[in-house]
Amino acid sequence: MAAMACTTAAASTVSTPRLGAVSGVKTSAAAARSVQLTSAFHGQSVSSVSHVAALKAAVTSKRSGRRAVVVCKAADGQTVVIGLAADSGCGKSTFMRRLTSVFGGAATPPKGGNPDSNTLISDTTTVICLDDYHSLDRYGRKEKAVTALDPRANNFDLMYEQVKALKEGKSVEKPIYNHVTGLLDAPETIHPPKILVIEGLHPMYDERVRELLDFSIYLDISDDVKFAWKIQRDMAERGHSLESIKASIASRKPDFDAYIDPQKQYADVVIQVLPTQLIPDDNEGKVLRVRMVMKEGVPFFEPVYLFDEGSTISWIPCGRKLTCSYPGIKFFYGPDTYYGNEVSVLEMDGQFDKLDELIYVESHLSNISTKFYGEITQQMLKHADFPGSNNGTGLFQTICGLKIREVYERILEKQKNAVSLEGAKS
0.85 surpassed by pTM: no
pLDDT at residue number 112: 83
> Residue 177 in contact with residue 131, Cβ under 8 Å?
yes
Q: Write the pLDDT tens digit of every residue in 282-332.
A: 766 789 999 999 999 999 999 999 999 999 999 999 777 888 888 889 999
Radius of gyration of the chain (CA): 23
The rounded Cα 142 to chain-centroid distance in angstroms is 26
- What residue ranges do the domains of the chain occupy? 1-14+48-219, 268-408
Closest CA to 69 of 79, 80, 60, 78: 60
User: What are the residues whose beta carbons fall under 8 Å from the beta carbon of 103, sequence distance 6 or more?
Assistant: 122, 123, 124, 125, 195, 405
Residues in the chain: 426
Question: What dihedral do alpha carbons 361, 367, 373, 378 form, nearest 10°?
Answer: -70
The dihedral sign for the CA sequence 322, 324, 328, 331: negative
Q: Write the pLDDT tens digit of every residue in 373-401.
A: 999 999 999 999 998 899 999 999 999 99
Closest CA to 400 of 304, 305, 264, 334: 304
pLDDT at residue number 92: 84
Q: Residue 314 carries which side chain, given as an amino acid letter?
A: S
The rounded Cα 115 to chain-centroid distance in angstroms is 20
| Range list of β-strands (E), 34-94 | 36-37, 46-47, 67-71, 80-85
Provide CATH code, domain 1-14+48-219: 3.40.50.300
